[in-house]
Structure 1
Amino acid sequence: MANQSELLPRESLLWIFAAQFAALLPHFAQLPLWIVCAWAFAVYWRLEVFRGRRDLPGRTVKLLVVGLTVAGLALSYRRWFALEPMVALLAISFTLKNLELVSRRDAFLSLLLAYFVAATLFVYEQTIPYALYGTVCVVVVTAALAAQLGHFSARPRRALGLSLRLLAQAVPLMLLLFIVMPRLGPLWAVPQNNSGTTTGISDSMTPGDFTRLSKSDKPALRIAFDGPIPPPEQRYWRGLVYADFDGRRWSQGFGVDPREGGVVRWQGREQKLPEVGPRYRYRVIQEATNNPWLFAMARPISDTRGVGETADDRLLKKRPVYNRFAYDVRSWPRETLTDDRELSDFEYRRYLQLPRGGNPRTRAWAEEFHASGLGAEEISAHVLKYFNRSFTYTLKPPALGADSIDDFLFGSQQGFCEHFASSYVFTMRAAGVPARVVAGYQGGEWVEQEEYLLVREYDAHAWAEIWLPGRGWQRVDPTAAVSPERIRDGLQSAAADEFMQDSLLQLHRISVLNRLRLEWDMINYRWYQTVVSFDSDKQENLLKKLLGEVSPLRLAAFIAVPVALALTGMLLWLWLSNRGRRLPPASRLYQKFCRRMARAGIARRPGEAPRDFARRVGIEMPALAPMVERITAAFERAAYGEDPAAEKQLRRLLRQWSPRANFVFGRTADGGRIATGE
């Protein structure tokens, strides 16, 4: 049991609960509701204990509570070794600590745990708002630590002021460590729960999927080019290839996804690609998707660690993209390369696969093309011409029946990109031409100030590729035959009347807000480029600019000099602040009295109390004792009793009295000094 002097006062408890609330608040939206309620109940119980209405729970109750929380975690999460249950376990441990919050030691332990809970915020997001809120959390937790020093320190203004001063002093060291500390990979990895995709394109496509994505204006990709920028009609960012069709749903098919045995080349292409000639170099910053696929133009190669290429011209990451991820890509336009290889029997069957039945009109129409002996490009031209003749591009297409391809081609003739791509690939396969659906993004908004391409979710797009002997896979976009402005100018131009129509306030139509939104994205882009993506390569380049050559001696000097300057500046500031600090008037008057006594031969000793000094003066100079006693009594009333009349009396006594003016000092037999009357 803690000593009575170590028990937590009310102000300390309130500061601890404030720090806990600040650290847990961003997690309330992700944690199960029962954990939030458990924390609130634990705080309520501890306050009742402080008021004397409840007792702290005993060991049996604690064991029961621990058992219930473990059971709750097991029921709330399907797997234990993942990020979300680990954060939940930390939060529930944080909560249960309130049931044994008794002494200052418990308080310090709880507040140190609060730093860890606040740090878990950055596992999910590293954006500017999260960084600002994380800073607020650190300020509050540090203020709560300062409040544990005593009643006076627990005052909000003093605790927050001390916290801000401590953190301000730590900022130079933080910046120095940010620059010089080696960028190490994690010692272990805890996977996130990927039960749902954060944003973006899924691993299958049915009618209406891309229409839903068109309602979101969240950023998906930011692409900065090193060299030429592709024209709008070449800005196709491929991410997924759909090969299997069951009559309504397109999917990748077995053996394509690496999670199902698909082959990925992690060490570069086996095929030799030219080092010179037309190509694009660019860096993609991709938002979190909780999926492994990345987005790039055709024929991509990436030297970024952990990124590989697939046989169907895509990029994949070894682990899902749980957080914003940057990767470098080189791409070659397909028309600049030749592809003499032939499709294997397996590939040929895969890209001609169709369901056994369904859509009889489309099959009969395609069979006419095949029977007439037309080539693949001629068949494609006929289908595109048919699209161009009477089809309508719309974000609100009508529902389709069981034979969705027939209903679209010969019925509604209104659709979005997935309708055109799906029906085109079905027709080409039925006509004997290998074809596949490709999903990704098309277009993007060029941000002139920062020189990057901003691709949003509503830029999601689906198109087709057909196999041509001697030329390989060639891109065909049926949407371009119906709505070329969609490819040239973007979705907002192609579907101006329907674009973001379901948005509550129609904010996208206000130019000022669009400009502010773009400015905010530029700020986020700079933040990621400068802070979040500051990896070992950027660190080495920065140190080379600062030091010329990165050597242990120069690095040590680079660390030592700022630290020495900071310590010198801190000591100088303390000296100047102490020197410039004005004493209360009574203390200044008493110091004046002490200086007079020192000149008279009796100096006040360091740490000697005023009453003790007066007693010693009375022993050494009895003649001065009455006046010194009056001066000391007036000082004590003025300084400790805050009596204005006593301060005036002290001032009057010192103005009228001087020990040298009233007494003559002689020598004693042993050489000492003695006061005698005039």
Structure 2
Amino acid sequence: MESAREWLPRESLVWIFAAQFVALLPQFTQLPLWIPFAWAFAVYWRLEVFRGRRDLPGRTLKLLVILLTTAGLSLSYRRWFALEPMVALLALSLTLKNLELVSRRDAFVSLLLAYFVAATLFVREQTIPYALYGLLCVVVITAALAAQSGGFSARPRRALGLSTRLLAQAAPLMLLLFVAMPRLGPLWSVPQDTAAGRTGVSDSMAPGDFTRLSKSDKPVLRIAFDGPIPPPEQRYWRGLVYSEFDGRTWRQGFAVDPRNGGRVYWKSGERPLPQVGPRYRYQVIQEPSRVPWLFALARPASDSAGVGATTDDRLVKRTPVFSRFAYDVRSWPRDSQGPPVPLSSAERRRNLQLPPSGNARTRAWVVRLRRQGLGASDISAQLLARFNREFTYTLSPPALGSDSVDAFLFDSRQGFCEHFAGSYVFAMRAAGVPARVVAGYQGGEWVSGEEYLLVREYDAHAWAEVWHQGRGWLRVDPTAAVAPERVRDGLESAAGAEFMQDALLPWHRVDIVMKLRLQWDRINYRWYQTVVSFDGDRQRDYLQRLLGEISPLRMALLLAVPTAVVLLGLLLWIWRGGQGGKLSPAERLYDKFCRRMARAGLVRGTGETPRDYARRIGEARPQLAALAQGVTDAFEGAAYGEDQAALSTLRRLLRWRLMLPGSIQRARDGQALTEQ
């Protein structure tokens, strides 16, 4: 047992708890609710120990706490080898360390854990606000380390000042390592413990799903083109294909979803591509979705690591998109390709599948058209013309019953994109034509200045693809038959007053706010391009531009020269400190006073005491006698008596009497120091 004099003082405990709170605060909204309460209780217990009201927990109690927390983690998470339970385990380690926080060694270990907890902040987000908050965490934790010396070092101003200076001195080395050191895989590539997507397009579609997405303006995709840009009516960003229908909900189905038997080409050579060059080349930056599917134009191909193409012209990632992900894409629109590969019998059956019963009125209507001798193209034209004449595009469609297609086509006749796409594909399948629903995003807002296309959640869209013999899969957008402005100008133009009407604050109607939000998105885009996506490939390109050639000698020089400059500056600073000694605040202020007096021709002699110097100033310049005496009295009180009031007086005298821009002027009665 350590003696009482080795225990942590109150100031050290306060700094440790402040550092823990700052590091844990962003995690409190993500962790199970019992973990923040456990941390608060551990802090309370340790403070009670400091007050002498309780004892530190013994071995038996510690073992019981460990068993309880382990059981809590097991009940809170479905699996252990995932990112969320690992972050929770780290937060619990920091929490339980408070129960044995006794010596400075314990404090050091606790603060090192706080650094790791603060680093987990970037697991979920790597945006500018999170980066600034992460910097705040580092400043506070480093200040807590500095405060462990006790006494004057524990004062907030002193500890924070020392922390800021240390981090400022480390910034050049940090920048050098960021540019030159080999890039490691990110922490957030570890599997996470949830399959819930952040973007709203999910692996199923039922009436009302896309209507919900129309109420969110969160960014989803940022797309920068290298060359031609597709016109608005061609900006269909495919993400999912729904082939299975149970009467109400569309799903990807077996052999379509890559997680359920769907084939994926992970290497570009495995999948035949057109001989002609791609029409569009672009890079997509996708926001976290926690699902593996990506978004691109029709017939895409990508050479980005971990990205593959499916047989139905989509892109997927090997692992879910847990953080912002950038991937390069080449696209060949179908009108630039040769004859398609014939549809296999399995694909035909899959894209003709309908439930055995339900939606009888739609089936009967299609049968009547077939008996009239109409073909697939005629039935499609009939349905689209009916949409155009009789139907309304709305963000607030009425609820539909169990036979949702019948209720939409013959009763409500009001709907959003999923209603039109789903009912169209159902009717075409009932007519014997292979068809499927495609979900993704359509359109986007062009951001000038940074030159990229910004796609938001309210751009979520569903459309149809129909198989034509000899031509392959052709896109048909039934929504365009009802509201062509939706495809041409975007959702806001098509929805009118309904657009974002449920928003708490209608920022989209305030022009200056929308401009500021767009400017903020530009800044975030540049941040991602410059910092977050600085991977091994970008690092190699940058070093080649900087060095001309990446060789061991040039890399050594890149690391050695800045390091030598920093070390030389540090040695010079130490040498100057050894020559002049470290001055206290009062000595620095008095030295400033002496330099000002020297400008007036009154140089302080070697070994001359402050009072002798003040007396000589008064004899040589009577008009400065009062000032010199006041400065001397304040200096002696601050330097020798550690009087804070005297230090404030000295600082005030020099600020107002000497620190303002002044000059030495020659007055009528002789040379004098004047202030302006």
- Read off the aligned partner of 1:251 and give its amino acid letter: R
Greater CA deviation, 385-394 or 340-349? 340-349
Offset from partner CA, 1:495-553 (integer Å, 9 cap, x none): 01100000122111101110111011111100000000001111111111111111110
Report the CA distance between 1:379 and its aligned residue. Answer: 2.2
Q: Aligned residue for 2:217? A: 217
TM-score normalised over the length of structure 2: 0.86
Distance 1:636 1:391 in 2: 90
2:129 is equivalent to residue 129 of structure 1: yes
SS in structure 1 of the partner of residue 313 of structure 2: coil
Report the CA distance between 1:268 and its aligned residue. Answer: 2.0
Q: Aligned residue for 1:489? A: 489
Q: Aligned residue for 1:607? A: none
Q: Aligned residue for 2:648? A: none
Equivalent residues in 2 for 1:228-239, closer than 5 Å: 228-239=228-239
Distance 1:332 1:465 in 2: 17
Distance 1:380 1:574 in 2: 84
- Read off the aligned partner of 1:108 and give its amino acid letter: F
Q: Aligned residue for 1:341? A: 341
Distance 2:141 2:641 in 1: 37
Q: Aligned residue for 2:628? A: none
Q: Aligned residue for 2:671? A: none
- Read off the aligned partner of 1:156 and give its amino acid letter: P
Equivalent residues in 2 for 1:200-279, closer than 5 Å: 200-268=200-268, 270-277=270-277, 279=279
Shift in CA distance, 448/275, structure 1 to aligned 2, threshold 3 Å: farther
SS in structure 2 of the partner of residue 238 of structure 1: strand
Offset from partner CA, 1:230-263 (integer Å, 9 cap, x none): 0000000000000011100000112221221221
Offset from partner CA, 1:340-396 (integer Å, 9 cap, x none): 321111111111111111111211111233334433322211211111111110000
Offset from partner CA, 1:395-446 (integer Å, 9 cap, x none): 0011112221111111111100000000100110111110000000000000
Q: Aligned residue for 2:386? A: 386
Q: Aligned residue for 1:90? A: 90
Q: Aligned residue for 2:102? A: 102
Equivalent residues in 2 for 1:369-448, closer than 5 Å: 369-448=369-448
Q: Aligned residue for 1:625? A: none
- Read off the aligned partner of 2:324 and give its amino acid letter: R
Is this contact kept in 2: 1:200–1:220, CA < 8 A?
no
Distance 1:106 1:638 in 2: 36
- Read off the aligned partner of 2:263 and give its amino acid letter: V
SS in structure 2 of the partner of residue 120 of structure 1: helix
Is this contact kept in 2: 1:246–1:354, CA < 8 A?
yes
TM-score normalised over the length of structure 1: 0.86
Is this contact kept in 2: 1:269–1:309, CA < 8 A?
no
Equivalent residues in 2 for 1:60-99, closer than 5 Å: 60-99=60-99
Report the CA distance between 1:151 and its aligned residue. Answer: 1.1
Distance 1:505 1:637 in 2: 58
Q: Aligned residue for 2:451? A: 451
SS in structure 2 of the partner of residue 135 of structure 1: helix
Report the CA distance between 1:572 and its aligned residue. Answer: 3.4
Report the CA distance between 1:78 and its aligned residue. Answer: 1.6
SS in structure 2 of the partner of residue 20 of structure 1: helix
Larger Rg: 1
Which blocks of at least 5 consecutive residues in structure 1 are unaligned? Answer: 595-634, 644-678
Is this contact kept in 2: 1:269–1:301, CA < 8 A?
no
2:59 is equivalent to residue 59 of structure 1: yes
Shift in CA distance, 12/373, structure 1 to aligned 2, threshold 3 Å: same
Shift in CA distance, 211/544, structure 1 to aligned 2, threshold 3 Å: same
Is this contact kept in 2: 1:370–1:432, CA < 8 A?
no
Shift in CA distance, 442/50, structure 1 to aligned 2, threshold 3 Å: same
Is this contact kept in 2: 1:118–1:137, CA < 8 A?
yes
Is this contact kept in 2: 1:224–1:284, CA < 8 A?
yes
Offset from partner CA, 1:433-488 (integer Å, 9 cap, x none): 10000000000000011000000000000000000011100000000000000000
Q: Aligned residue for 2:570? A: 570
Q: Aligned residue for 1:600? A: none
Shift in CA distance, 548/353, structure 1 to aligned 2, threshold 3 Å: same
Report the CA distance between 1:641 and its aligned residue. Answer: 5.5
Shift in CA distance, 60/401, structure 1 to aligned 2, threshold 3 Å: same
Shift in CA distance, 45/375, structure 1 to aligned 2, threshold 3 Å: same
- Read off the aligned partner of 1:365 and give its amino acid letter: W
Distance 2:607 2:54 in 1: 57
Report the CA distance between 1:272 and its aligned residue. Answer: 3.2
Distance 1:152 1:582 in 2: 16
Distance 1:428 1:109 in 2: 67
Equivalent residues in 2 for 1:473-488, closer than 5 Å: 473-488=473-488
Q: Aligned residue for 2:553? A: 553
Is this contact kept in 1: 2:292–2:319, CA < 8 A?
yes
SS in structure 1 of the partner of residue 496 of structure 2: coil
Is this contact kept in 2: 1:351–1:434, CA < 8 A?
yes
Q: Aligned residue for 2:662? A: none
Shift in CA distance, 300/195, structure 1 to aligned 2, threshold 3 Å: closer
- Read off the aligned partner of 1:81 and give its amino acid letter: F
Is this contact kept in 2: 1:338–1:470, CA < 8 A?
no
Greater CA deviation, 234-243 or 195-204? 195-204
Q: Aligned residue for 1:592? A: 607
Equivalent residues in 2 for 1:504-523, closer than 5 Å: 504-523=504-523
2:311 is equivalent to residue 296 of structure 1: no
Q: Aligned residue for 2:24? A: 24
Greater CA deviation, 1-10 or 149-158? 1-10
Report the CA distance between 1:126 and its aligned residue. Answer: 0.7
SS in structure 2 of the partner of residue 495 of structure 1: helix
Report the CA distance between 1:47 and its aligned residue. Answer: 0.7
Distance 2:372 2:346 in 1: 27
Shift in CA distance, 395/239, structure 1 to aligned 2, threshold 3 Å: same
- Read off the aligned partner of 2:504 and give its amino acid letter: L
Distance 1:590 1:199 in 2: 75
Distance 1:122 1:502 in 2: 32
Report the CA distance between 1:579 and its aligned residue. Answer: 4.1
Offset from partner CA, 1:30-49 (integer Å, 9 cap, x none): 11111111111111111111
Shift in CA distance, 432/173, structure 1 to aligned 2, threshold 3 Å: same
- Read off the aligned partner of 2:607 and give its amino acid letter: K
Q: Aligned residue for 1:464? A: 464
Aligned-residue CA RMSD (Å): 2.3
Q: Aligned residue for 1:541? A: 541
Count of aligned pairs between the two proteins:
603
Distance 2:353 2:446 in 1: 39
Shift in CA distance, 575/412, structure 1 to aligned 2, threshold 3 Å: same
Distance 1:576 1:333 in 2: 69
